[in-house]
Each structure stands twice: as C-alpha cells, then as structure tokens.
Structure 1
Amino acid sequence: MSVKIIIGYLRLFNRVLQQEQIDLSKVVSPELWHAFQNCLENPDEQDFDVERYALLLQAAQPHFTRPITLVLAEHANLQDLGLMGYLASTSFDLQQALQLLQRYYSLVFKQTNLEQLNVQQLPEYIQIVWSASYPDYREMYELNLALIFKIAQSIVLDHLAPPQMIQFGYAPHTSLYHFERFYGCSIQVQAGQYAIRFSNQILKAKSIAADQQLNQVLSTQAQQSLSRISSIEIQQQQFKQKILTYIEQGLVQQEEVLQSYVAKRLYCSERTLQRQLKVYQLNFQDILDQYRLEQSKLYLQQGKSLSEIAELLNYADQSAFGRAFKRWTGYTPKQFLKSL
C-alpha cells in the first residue's frame, strides 16, 4: 500500500524549483515527472505517494549545497500543511498547537496514519517523538521534523531558543553539520525514532493569530476528515506495525522461529496469523525481510561486523546473512559499504 501526501507538499516543492529555476524534467523518469505535474494540475483527481516524493527530493538534492529538506522548510508556510497548518496557526499557544499536531498528524498523509506521533510533556520540557520504520522515507521524516520546528517558530514570535534535543531515526544522506546549524543544536541518531525537544518555558507563548472559535471549527473538520480515512488501510498499517514490533522483540530475545513467536504475542496460532496476514494482503516473510534489510544497512553503517549482524538478525552465520543481503540488494555487504 502506498502512502499518499497532501497537495501542499507538491506545491511547496514546485515553488522552490521555480524560484531556483531548476528543471528536473530531464533528470527524473518521464513517468514520475508526468505524475508530479498531473497531480499539481488535478489535485482532487490524482494522488501522489511518499515514495515518489522522496525520489523527487533525491533528484533535486544535487542542485543544492544544503539538504533539500531544510530548503523546503525555510520556504514553507503553514498553509502548505493543509488543515493541519491552519489548526496550528489559529491555536492559542504552542502547547495547544502541539496537542492538535499529535491528534491530527495523520492528515499530513491522505490515506493512513503511517507513523504515530506522540507529544510527551515532562516537568522541564516537552518533546515530540515518532517511530520511523521505513528508511526510504527518511527525507520525508527530515522534512516533517523541520516543519514542526517551523510551526513552533511561527507561533513563538519571540526568538525561539534552540531545541534542547534533535534526534534522527536514520543517518541523513547529507552532512549533519547543515542540520545542526539549522536547529542550533547537536543532532543524535538513534535507530528508528525521530524526536524534537523544547523547553517548557516557550509553551505558553501566545500566538497573535489565535482564534479559538475558528480553531474549534477547524478541529471539527479535521475530526471529520479522519473519520473518512479508509479503516482497512489504517488497520493494515497498524497490524503490520504490530508484526514489526514483535519481530524486533523476537530478534532481541534470539527466538528461533519468529513467526511462531509473533503468533504467540498476538495470542493466536500460526495458521490464524497466516489468515490475518492474507486478509490485509501482507506476507510474513516479506515483512521480516524488509525489517532485516533496513536493520542490516543501519548496522553496516554503524560499523558492526558481519558476524555481529548475523547474530542480531538471527542468521545461522555470516555467510547466510551475506547471501540474504545479496538477494535483497544485488550487492554483498562489503560492496554496499564501498558504494557508500
């Protein structure tokens, strides 16, 4: 299942291309460029998915000396986030804006609440955290993180102190230096989770555009929009996320038969698990291979040895892992590292 994004992201990207006079029509495939232009012209009739958007960002990156995601964030306005942006702009203060962001974050995507976003408020700070299960979406994660920072800046009109902490779930394709300069703080990388943390001192900063009556109307619209999202798509993503979570736990505990372990955690038999997967048009081995591939790339970049990775991913030995990696990518692990 592809995850669709709202038209605001496409318009933002197109606006930056026009301002910088960049022509990608001869760089990307004709099919991708046609789909991009067609969606811009007919947003109510055409959809655009995250995978293709990430390909556009990657194609545009060589034209910029800084991460394209930061360039987009600097050119963005709240309306590019659609209804979510209007909700933030009419919020009473940053605290309300972040609470609404948590509730309606899935409206950034047109089909499904891909990643659950959580706002965690503690005595001294508030942080926004969400898991990241798809390394191919890393540019999208980076862009959304930068846009959350942009939302905070637009509401807190006084000078916004640098975040107390920024965390990336995947190492970016460009230097961390650019991101540290953008946010004004150091960046840490922790597999599979993005986060941004603010001091509680800025939470009560009032927004000059606050309009509680309009905000309530928009909140009602947002709730109605959520209710229209296809329940089967949400259920499919949630079920897949459960499978991934239990696969990760099973690998940590060195469970020999992962499918059996996952079935037990779901309180069902393996046969029942297979039937449930079939209902959601999923395949257990595909999910497991996808997870192993993503983790193996991360482990390789972290400098772990092949024997360590084989053990972490529950392979009999490093040769078995090497064969699986080449089957997935067409490269041996050493060739993959050399390509980086």
Structure 2
Amino acid sequence: MSVKIIIGYLRLLNRVLQQEHIDLSGVVAPELWQDFAACLENPDEQEFDVERYVVLLRAAQPYFTRPITLVLAEHANLQDLGLMGYLASTSLDLQQALQLLQRYYSLIFKQTNLEQLDVQQFSDYIQIVWNASYPDYREMYELNLALIFKIAESIAQDTLIPPQMIQFGYAPHTALYHFEKFYGCSIQVHAGQYAIRFPHQILKAKSIAADQQLNQVLSSQAQQSLNSISSVEIQQQQFKQKIQSYIEQGLLQQEEVLQRYVAKRLHCSERTLQRQLKAYQLNFQEILDQYRLEQSKLYLQQGKSFSEIAERLNYADQSAFGRAFKRWTGFTPKQFLKSL
C-alpha cells in the first residue's frame, strides 16, 4: 500500500533538518533525496508517500538523542497539518476539535485507505484510537499521536491536563522513557492499536482562536475535499488491487513480461491497459515495485535467502534484487534485516 502525505509533513522535517544543520543527501539513496527536494519545490506537481517519509525519519534519527518523531512534534505548527490544523484552531473547544479530527483525519493523507481514527467517549474519560496494520509505518503512527497531543496543547487556552494513558501498537525503536517524559504518563504497548486517553474534563477546554463562522466554512471545504476524493480513490484502489493480484499470479508462474500477462488476464491489449492505468493516475512499474517491496520485506522476515527472493520476484539475480531494494528503501537487504 502506498499512502501519500500532505506537503506540511515534508516542510516540517525540512525545517528541523535545516535548524539542526543536518544534511541527509549523502545518507539516503540519491533518488529519494531528489524526490524529497522536488516535492518541496513543486508540491502541486510532485507527491511523496509515507514509506519514503519513514525512511527519511530513520535516517535522521542517529543525529538526535531523542525520538525524531517527538522532535518534529515539538517544532510543528497548525499550518503543517493543512486544513486539519486550521479546523482544530478555529474550533470552539477541544470536543469540537476532536470531532472534526475524527471526521477529516484522512485529509492529512492524500488517500483515504489508511486506518480510520475513532474518538470514543466514556463517562469519565475520552480516548482517541486507531488500528495500526503496517509495522513499517510505526514512526508515522508515533508522529501522528504526538501531533494530536501537541495540537490539543496548542489550541487550549489553559494548561492541558496530561493524558491518563498512551498506547503504542508497536514497540518503538527508541527507549520508552523518552515518550513517557513527553506525554507525562506511562506508555503501554498493545499489538496493532494506538490510543491516547484524556480525562473527560478536557473536552470543555476553550480554543484560543475560536471562530465558528470560519470553522463552518472550513468544515464545508473539508467535506467537499473528502467527497471529491472518496469515489475516485475507491475505484483507483480496486483497479490497483486487481493489477496486483495478476502481478502475483504472473510472478508465481514466472512470466517473463508481466505487463503483457496482466493485460491478457484483463482481456485487453497492453496499450489499452496503459490507457486505463493513466485514467486512474497509476503506473504499472510503480505498482510492480510496490508489490515487490512489500513481498521482499515479508520474505526477509521469514528468513528466505536473497537468491530465493530474487527468483520469486523475477529478478535476474541476487544483485539486481539488492539494488532494487536499496533504491526503494535507502537500505540494503542486510541493513534492513539488521534493523529488525
């Protein structure tokens, strides 16, 4: 799965790197750094996905003594979250801000197929929960959790009561005590689910910049954005999943030209397939690379040899697989295994 993120996340990371005089251009793969720079320069024409963003976060981590996700959250402002940030700041109180966050959370990303955020209210506390199905995204989950906390802090007129509980869906790569100090409470790890719990009284915490008229205008814009992308994204995802299923079949059968095989399964010519992909703003090679990346990570975790993975994914040899893996992630397969 490839989930695109809004430009604010890239600007936030770039701002922190510049302030700390950190240059990652010689640390990550050149193509990755070039794409990062291109997206910052032309955000309307370029897109950046979560997976590559996480690679940059991991590359930056050795330069900090604390989790990079917490450093970013402390440097973040509401504008970094785009429309979602403005909606939160103009809300009457935290209760309204959290309701809007739940409704429009997917607008932080450029696709709607990430896990949905759920705001749950109980008699004496409120908690924000979302399932986390992708361990490769753990830094992104940690960052979003920290951003939710910082948003609540920044828009409340009075000092915010610390959370009662923080839950991580995956154990972080850095020590838990950093997060406990940041949130002011204990951290639990419960597989596959992130959560933050506040006492119920924070719901009435008033917003510094409350403006209901502007908030209604922004809410209307957010709903229009959500409506416009939902149907297109669903159709795009369905077509993409169909392509991936045929790619999987083609790889199992060791088909030499996968695009020709997929076109045949779709009962069309390769040219027609290309037109259909273009209509959905998709690229066959990108879909193939994404599938190979996800499968290669799975195979590596299962302990399969590099040569076996190369054969299963239809690479000429082990070296070709290694070069492709580093191009995708910025790490060699050996470095990836070591990070696990």
Shared fold by TM > 0.5?
Answer: yes
**Once the 2 structures are TM-superposed, how far is the Cα of residue 234 of structure 1 from its aligned partner?**
3.6
CA distance in 1, matches of 2:71, 2:185: 18
8 A contact 1:8–1:81 mirrored in 2:
yes
Please state whether the residue corresponding to 2:204 is helix, strand or coil.
Answer: coil
8 A contact 1:120–1:127 mirrored in 2:
yes
**Once the 2 structures are TM-superposed, how far is the Cα of residue 2 of structure 1 from its aligned partner?**
1.6
Please state whether the residue corresponding to 1:166 is helix, strand or coil.
Answer: strand
**Once the 2 structures are TM-superposed, how far is the Cα of residue 205 of structure 1 from its aligned partner?**
1.2
8 A contact 1:2–1:49 mirrored in 2:
yes
Unaligned 5+ segments in structure 2 are 242-265, 267-279, 311-317, 319-335
Letter in 2 for 1:103: R
- 1:17-36 equivalences under 5 Å are 17-36=17-36
Q: Which has the larger displacement, 153-162 or 2-11?
A: 153-162
> Structure 1 residues 39 and 94, CA, compared in 2 at 3 Å: closer, same or farther?
same
> Structure 1 residues 20 and 235, CA, compared in 2 at 3 Å: closer, same or farther?
same
Letter in 1 for 2:94: L
Q: What residue in structure 2 maps to residue 160 of structure 1?
A: 160
Please state whether the residue corresponding to 1:203 is helix, strand or coil.
Answer: helix
> Structure 1 residues 325 and 90, CA, compared in 2 at 3 Å: closer, same or farther?
farther
Letter in 2 for 1:56: L
Seq. identity, %: 81
Q: What residue in structure 2 maps to residue 3 of structure 1?
A: 3
**Once the 2 structures are TM-superposed, how far is the Cα of residue 112 of structure 1 from its aligned partner?**
2.2
Letter in 2 for 1:222: A
Q: 1:37-60 CA distances to partner (integer Å, 9 max, x unpaired)?
A: 000000000000001100000000
CA distance in 2, matches of 1:326, 1:123: 57
8 A contact 1:112–1:237 mirrored in 2:
no
Could you tell me the TM-score, scaled by structure 2's length?
0.72
Letter in 1 for 2:28: V
CA distance in 1, matches of 2:309, 2:97: 42
**Once the 2 structures are TM-superposed, how far is the Cα of residue 233 of structure 1 from its aligned partner?**
3.1
Please state whether the residue corresponding to 2:195 is helix, strand or coil.
Answer: strand
CA distance in 2, matches of 1:132, 1:237: 19
Q: What residue in structure 2 maps to residue 58 of structure 1?
A: 58
**Paired positions, count:** 273
8 A contact 2:156–2:208 mirrored in 1:
no
- 1:66-105 equivalences under 5 Å are 66-105=66-105
Letter in 1 for 2:65: T
Q: What residue in structure 1 maps to residue 173 of structure 2?
A: 173
> Structure 1 residues 204 and 5, CA, compared in 2 at 3 Å: closer, same or farther?
same
1:197 aligns with 2:197: yes
**Once the 2 structures are TM-superposed, how far is the Cα of residue 230 of structure 1 from its aligned partner?**
4.9
Unaligned 5+ segments in structure 1 are 242-274, 298-320, 331-335
CA distance in 1, matches of 2:8, 2:95: 24
Please state whether the residue corresponding to 2:170 is helix, strand or coil.
Answer: coil
8 A contact 2:167–2:188 mirrored in 1:
yes
Q: What residue in structure 1 maps to residue 108 of structure 2?
A: 108
8 A contact 2:125–2:198 mirrored in 1:
yes
Q: 1:217-270 CA distances to partner (integer Å, 9 max, x unpaired)?
A: 0000000111121525346769999xxxxxxxxxxxxxxxxxxxxxxxxxxxxx
- 1:1-340 equivalences under 5 Å are 1-234=1-234, 293=298
Letter in 2 for 1:136: D
Q: Which has the larger displacement, 142-151 or 229-238?
A: 229-238
